[in-house]
Amino acid sequence: MSTPISSTRVRTPLPEGTIPVGIALLIAGFATYAFFRVGTVAVGGEDAFAPIASLWFAMFALSPGFFLPLEQELGRALASRRALGQGSRPVVRRIVTLGVVLVVAMVIVIAAFGSLLASSYFNGNWIMVVALATAFAAYAPAHIARGISSGTGRFRNYALIMGSDGIVRIVVCLALAAFSVSAIGAYAMLIALTPLVAVVIVWRRGGLHTDPGPPAEWNEVTSNLGWLLLGSVFAASLLNAGPIAASLFADADQEALVTQFSFGVLLARIPLFLFQAVQAALLPGLARLAAQGQLDEFRSGLRRLMLVVLAVGAIGTGGAFVLGPWVIEVVYDADLTSETLAMLALSSAVYMGALAAAQAVIALQGHALVALGWGLGVVAFVLGTWLSSDQIFRRIEIGLLLSSIAALITFAIALQVRLRAGAKPDQDSMMDAITDMPFET
């Protein structure tokens, strides 16, 4: 039987694991940059690497979008049972059932549109379609394992699952490159299968063990799942929309440019990546202030958080404009203009502000408003890329910036609405907010 935990620990489930989770995010991020560099050289250049880059961003638009809500709801439900000293195995079974349904449904959709995906998105390469379906299936157990780990307080396992994915990927990538393997299918399947390695390791050492407990009704794991799912799909899609749109819009002879644009997107994410690595420690404090009725202090703390976002965003955007072309040439041997890198960094900075605001809205039980905000962001991206420019990358850059602005404005209004309505966080909404991280690497 699970051991009850103190009320203080229930109110702040994730911060006890902030350090290992933050380290895991940093490791995964650096491994991603290394993989793109080594992989590009190993397969023979930017033209050959373009389908792998396209696979990467499609995978991280789909997998976190659909499975992060399952992870969130599982972690929330397990934390609640843990507080009551109840076994959580029935809850896990419910979530696993939902995960299987999502995997089967999405694999069927990918197979049905496989020919279109291969011809329009992967430049005729069917192995990428297979790798995309495989990756989607592989990330389901990874997110479920993360949900079990966070909900049961096993944060070292959570960090291991999050960080080892990148480590295994770059280690195997280096091994393939050392043996002069240049087939892009090998690297595509490497991307698809690495999430399973840590899951197997954690499972073998008993880190996913759960105890029998009272039966779980569907409402125990689906109270906010619909809104979380909708918001997560929109948020993850926006985060990866730039390279995906570039792959769809580019001509057959522009594959190298698509790869270079992907490099630019990765570099522009550095401030967002570093900010999210420490943000889990900040949000619970804000949520506790609101829960205790200290709304003035909550607003003051949120303003300070947004000032940090503004400062980081300004430094990132200025740095991208001044140093970006030199950095991307040194790191990736790529050629992008200061204007392109600054626009990408600016849209990433605004997205960072929107993400922070969205988490605060979720903490105030505004799940539906967050789904609305990210949905309006998607609409803004479509309109921006459609109407703004005839230049392939400029229209995408404008679309990304407009989408982040639309989401940020929506969340700012939603925050005011929830605060005026007297909304206060509870344990469940705080858990959802703290684990609402659509940014994956």
In tens, the pLDDT along 362-384 reads 888 888 999 999 999 999 999 99
Token pair, residue 82, equals 């843990």
pLDDT of residue 189: 95
Residue 392 pLDDT class (50, 70, 90 cuts): confident
Q: Determine the pLDDT at residue 304.
A: 78
d(CA 180, CA 188): 16
Residues 170 and 263 occupy one common structural domain: no
pLDDT band of 6, cuts 50, 70, 90: very low
What pLDDT, on a 0 to 100 scale, did the predictor assign at position 126? 93
Residues 288 and 337 in one domain: yes
Q: What are the structure tokens assigned to 128, written together?
A: 């990428």
**Band of the pLDDT at 151, cuts 50, 70, 90?**
confident
Q: Is residue 435 predicted with pLDDT exceeding 70?
A: no
Domain boundary among 223, 241, 266: 223
Residues 181 and 89 in one domain: yes
Lowest mean pLDDT among 38-42, 45-49, 334-338, 429-433: 429-433
Q: Which residue has the higher pLDDT, 44 or 437?
A: 44
Torsion sign, CA atoms 274, 16, 34, 195: negative
**How far is residue 355's CA from residue 289's CA, in Å, rounded to a whole number?**
20
Residue 15 pLDDT grade (very low, low, confident, very high; cuts 50, 70, 90): very low
- With a cut of 50, say whether residue 235 has pLDDT above it: yes
Q: 155 and 76 in one domain?
A: yes
Gap between the Cα atoms of 319 and 43, Å rounded: 31
**Same domain (yes/no): 423, 345:** yes
Range of the domain at 406: 227-441
Mean pLDDT confidence for 215-234 = 85
User: What pLDDT, on the 0 to 100 scale, is given for residue 286?
Assistant: 62
Q: Which of 223, 239, 261 is the last residue of a domain?
A: 223
- The size of the chain, in residues, is 441
pLDDT of residue 7: 39
* Predicted pLDDT of residue 5: 39
Is residue 437 pLDDT above 80, yes or no? no
Stretch 218-247: mean pLDDT, rounded?
A: 88
Instruction: Note whether 231 and 214 are same-domain residues.
Output: no
Quick: pLDDT tens for 263-280: 999 888 887 776 765 565
60-69, 98-107, 383-392, 429-438: lowest mean pLDDT where?
Answer: 429-438
Question: What whole-number distance in Å separates Cα of residue 325 and Cα of residue 340?
Answer: 9
For residues 168 and 231, membership in a common domain is answered with: no
Question: Is 295 or 166 the better-scoring residue by pLDDT?
Answer: 166
Least confident of 26-30, 199-203, 240-244: 26-30
pLDDT of residue 112: 95
Residue 156, Cβ neighbours under 10 Å: how many? 15
* Whether residues 188 and 270 fall in one domain: no
Determine the pLDDT at residue 164: 86
**Cα-based distances in Å from 343 to 147, 268, 318, 400, 424:** 35, 9, 10, 9, 36
In this predicted structure, the answer to whether residue 93 has a pLDDT above a threshold of 50 is yes
More confident residue, 51 or 276: 51
Are 117 and 49 part of one and the same domain? yes
Q: Pick the residue with more confidence: 291 or 344?
A: 344
- The pTM score is 0.86
Q: Please tell me what DSSP assigns to residue 252.
A: G
Burial (CB count <10 Å: 0-12, 13-18, 19+), residue 145: buried
- Residues in contact with 273: Cβ distance below 8 Å, sequence separation at least 6, in sequence order: 25, 29, 439, 441
> Mean per-residue pLDDT for 272-290?
62
Question: What does the pLDDT average to over 344-351?
Answer: 93
Q: Are 168 and 316 part of one and the same domain?
A: no
Check residue 439 and give its pLDDT.
57
Confidence of residue 109 (pLDDT cuts 50, 70, 90): very high
Biggest alpha carbon distance in the chain?
62
Confidence at 350, pLDDT banded by 50, 70, 90: very high
Q: Over the stretch 156-201, which tens digit does the pLDDT of each residue have?
A: 888 888 888 889 999 999 999 999 999 999 999 999 999 999 899 9
Over the chain, what is the mean pLDDT? 85
From 206, 223, 240, the end of a domain falls on: 223
Residues 206 and 247 in one domain: no
Are 205 and 231 members of one domain?
A: no
Residue 19: pLDDT band with limits 50, 70, 90: low
Average pLDDT on 335-354 reads 92
The domain total for the chain is: 2
